[in-house]
Amino acid sequence: MPQSDLKALLSVAHHAVDAAVDYVLSQPVTGIRSKGGREIVTDIDEAVEHLVRDRLLRDTPDLGFLGEETGATGDSATYWVLDPVDGTTNFSHGLPLNAVALGLIHDEQPVLGVIALPFLGRRYWAARGHGAYRDHTQITVSETTDISRALVALSSYGGWADFPVRDLLSAELDRVLSARAQGVRRLGATAVDLVFVAEGALDVSVTLGNRPWDTAAGTVIAREAGAVVVDSDGSPHTLRSKCTVAVTPGLRDAVLPLLAVARHTPYWPAAAD
């Protein structure tokens, strides 16, 4: 995709996220329902998705759209992907660690991402080849090289039918990483984890699973900030990856061997087994 197109689409994305943030900050939660397991959705998630989807389909009618709540429509080669509120459980409890995450995928690769943290007043963004930014300041990953000084984020425990396997693997990863890292955190929002790696507040983020609305925008931002973004076996991260691992380069060789505990689970690429 030409850089000129990315620049124009980045402006479209910022305006769409502006509208989403305004809505999140101005509207109270009036409805919460279960999606199954521990997963919930609020009326704000659904309203924001409709708001952003309709705006993007108006402004970029030739592009497709994939939303967590409403699914896919339009072009499947180049499309927007949205998580209207990543960290919905946090959001429903009034915990400010949540995000509006909007990405653009072209030929199966994320090429643009805008992530806003409405209640923290932060905006992270990147386009492929243009670097990563928090608001108007360029950001880079940490220079940590010693895992004993690393702060690591892990994804939440299982939320759907993956309860048994994911819960056991999550506990094992917690045990393995806690024994070596300076600290392990579960922040409850993948997009937040990824932008915190991008700006160096975290050194590593390990997400079991790879739902594009959670990961597309954040992987672009993390990569453009200098992070290594891979699957659990260290292969390059793609839309088909089983996990999303973002790590500052100096910790890659220390962290990836620890993820071998995921081997022989659904969170390990079949071709690597």
Measured from the Cβ of residue 78, the count of other Cβ atoms closer than 10 Å reads 18
Cα(108)–Cα(1) distance, integer angstroms? 12
| Single-letter residue type at 201 | A
Contact assessment for residue 226 and residue 187, using Cβ atoms and an 8 Å cutoff: no
214 annotated as ligand-binding: yes
108 annotated as ligand-binding: no
Helices (H), 68-205: 88-92, 163-178, 190-198
What are 4's two structure tokens?
Answer: 């000129």
Contact assessment for residue 227 and residue 131, using Cβ atoms and an 8 Å cutoff: no
83 annotated as ligand-binding: yes
Sheet holding 151-154, edge to edge: 183-185, 151-154, 204-208, 243-247, 228-230
Q: Who contacts 189 (Cβ-Cβ below 8 Å, separation ≥6)?
A: 86, 87, 90, 97, 98, 99
Contact assessment for residue 67 and residue 59, using Cβ atoms and an 8 Å cutoff: no
Q: Which residues define the annotated binding site?
A: 68, 83, 86, 214
Q: Which residues define the annotated binding site for Mg(2+)?
A: 68, 83, 86, 214
